[in-house]
Structure 1
Amino acid sequence: MDQHASARADRPEIVVEDLMIPSDTAGISLHLRNKRPAALKTFSAERTILMMHGATYSSESLFDTPLGGASFMDYLAGHGYDVFALDVRGYGQSTRPPEMDAPPEQSEPLVRTGAGVRDLASAVAHILKQRRIARLNLVAMSWGGSVAGAYTAGNNDKVVKLALVAPLWLLQGPAPIDAGGRLGGYRNVPVLDFRTRWLSAAPEAARSSLIPAGGFERWANISLATDPLGSAQTPAIMRAVNGPILDIREYWAAGKRLYDAGDIRVPVLLVHAEWDQDVPIASAQNFFLSLTHAPYRRWVEIGEGTHMVLLEKNRLQAFDAINQFLGEDYS
């Protein structure tokens, strides 16, 4: 039997809403996608999730690309959660800074981590008000782990639990995502060329089976569709802001903490995959050991996965680990 068949068969009807909410900046609106069971009428902090994307691709691209019949958002909603996914300014369907309409060399790197934290705060405030709850869970990946970690460190009272997939932390030298040289406001990402870098992290013998059949094309099409201006070009590109890259360069790759993980005082789950070259295992270990005030913490290491494990053959191991962590009660 297809390993995903039982999950599909038991999945309840899912409601999907796309919302545009105000940021703290005039003229900048933020895209929130919500998926939840149609039968869910009573909302609680413990069953509410906000998801946060990484440095390049939107939340829809990372969390709502359907593979094997379901996306990560579908999986969580199917397990009874009220799930929101945020695009910070410059990503996905959120407003792009006006500087992105000019050549990149005409502006400094856009949307630094501080702006991401502010946009996450705006999304949290909106959800808490709409659902009439005091806290929620955060699930974040890569640079989004920096954003969610920094937000939680300053707002523990608004977070139930924090689940991070390969969060950025201290690195031994430049990050693979940083091509070096002067950074303009944004970069043009040739999405269809990313397959080579994605697969290069895995041993050659494992590459052909790493991404589910047709999965790369589905993911790439969703990613490109978030930027109609870029996808209309030949070859197709997607514009991605460079503020996160500058922060990686000036903080994590320079051995400087952008925030203090010891200030996080909620339960934390760290999910990491063995072939991750963007966040090496030594970086993950340093982060885990820095969580000195979390009530409890857990590290799940997934074999045969890269930085993009949430879109790979072993993604259900990550999904299940996060679902178990969010659903347990050790209070």
Structure 2
Amino acid sequence: MSHFKSRFVMASACSIVASTLAGEETGSLPDFSRRDHPLEVDGGTVHAWEVALEVNDSLERVSSPVVLFLHGGTWSGRPDFDLQFEDYSTMESFARKGWDTFAVDARGYGQSTNPEGENWSEAADVVKDLRVVVERICELRSVEEVSLVGWSWGSQVAALFAQEHPELVSRVVLYGTRWQPLEYEYELPDERLRISTLEDAKSDFVEGCFDPKLVDVYARAAIAADPDSPNGVFRDYYANLPLIDPEKLLAPTLVIAGEHEASHSIGDMSALFEALPSTDKQLAVIPGGGHAVHLEKGRYRWRSTVLAFLDESPGR
């Protein structure tokens, strides 16, 4: 990536922050429709949660371009992306900007069926379910493709899906991602599920980067939605990396992370960015942000950076 393009991405983020703040913190708030879409997939049920501006009561309405959020390895889509506290709902924020937003819960997360048999909710397992979900969303919204925003382990799902089903993907955002194998070894888990705690839910937040009230609210919401979570994420990180083959990821791609990214190396993300073949790609680092910057003080800059990238989609 050239130095000029690095500066351009960061300058673009800065120029949009003021208008984003004004638009989200003042004036009358719009009405949102929220719908749960339970889909039968290969013997189980996978839930997709939708947040959009209220237009009418028709489920089959033709709507805005679609962005699909993919959660990380411990918590499901609603606490991650539609947290009902002040202005912290990422899905509401994107819906205000003209996007029809969905968040899908992998098996074992949220209200979706627990994985069984050979399915541990590894990224490859989720991609199989996700094709059915994306095709159904395209049918509901009369679109041919969606944009994907994957956070943490969800970025592995997003990239793998975009590699295998490029015809269904417009743009990809890899947020807090990891490409290359870890430098240390772990023992693979024997249990399919693990129990989570309030402290686990607070662990992604970097001191000084967040509102303490938010972290308490988020932790309670996360535990309520996901008292336990599948261990497929650890099988991916400990044994399956690299899942992403940059040469096969042809969609326009944004690689983005907080400055204090704790879970993954900024250097690893830079190497992934350089390996992507697309000429339409960006690498962005959000100053003062951690692994969960979309829920921290830097969320406005994160939102404006991601939205600016997604808004370059055809038809926007």
The match for 1:104 is: none
User: Per the alignment, in what secondary structure is the counterpart of residue 18 of structure 1?
Assistant: strand
Aligned pairs (5 A) from 1:77-116? 77-97=95-115, 110-116=120-126
Residue 245 of structure 1, aligned match among 207, 226, 234? 234
Change (3 A) 1:301 1:89: same
Name segments (4+ residues, structure 1) moved above 6 Å: none
User: Per the alignment, in what secondary structure is the counterpart of residue 218 of structure 1?
Assistant: helix
Q: Distance in 1 between matches of 2:125 and 2:188?
A: 23
Q: Displacement of 1:138 after TM fit?
A: 0.9
Residue 56 of structure 1, aligned match among 55, 66, 74? 74
Do 1:273 and 1:307's aligned partners in 2 also have CA atoms closer than 8 Å?
yes
User: Per the alignment, in what secondary structure is the counterpart of residue 94 of structure 2?
Assistant: helix
Do 2:179 and 2:244's aligned partners in 1 also have CA atoms closer than 8 Å?
no
CA RMSD of aligned residues (A): 2.4
Identity %: 25
TM-score (norm 2): 0.85
Q: Displacement of 1:66 after TM fit?
A: 3.5
Letter in 2 for 1:158: L
The match for 2:204 is: 198
The match for 2:262 is: 277
Do 1:35 and 1:83's aligned partners in 2 also have CA atoms closer than 8 Å?
yes
Residue 285 of structure 2, aligned match among 287, 301, 304? 301
The match for 2:305 is: 321
Aligned pairs (5 A) from 1:1-331? 4=21, 6-8=23-25, 9=27, 11-23=29-41, 25-26=42-43, 28-39=44-55, 42-44=62-64, 47-97=65-115, 110-174=120-184, 180=187, 182-195=189-202, 197-199=203-205, 202=206, 207=207, 209-227=208-226, 238-252=227-241, 257-292=242-277, 294-328=278-312
Letter in 1 for 2:62: T
Q: Distance in 1 between matches of 2:213 and 2:258?
A: 22
Letter in 2 for 1:239: D
User: Per the alignment, in what secondary structure is the counterpart of residue 210 of structure 1?
Assistant: coil
Q: Distance in 2 between matches of 1:301 and 1:63?
A: 20
Q: Displacement of 1:10 after TM fit?
A: 5.3
Do 1:4 and 1:68's aligned partners in 2 also have CA atoms closer than 8 Å?
no
Q: Distance in 2 between matches of 1:291 and 1:67?
A: 37
Q: Distance in 2 between matches of 1:328 and 1:315?
A: 20
User: Per the alignment, in what secondary structure is the counterpart of residue 139 of structure 1?
Assistant: strand
Q: Distance in 2 between matches of 1:164 and 1:98?
A: 28
Change (3 A) 1:65 1:138: same
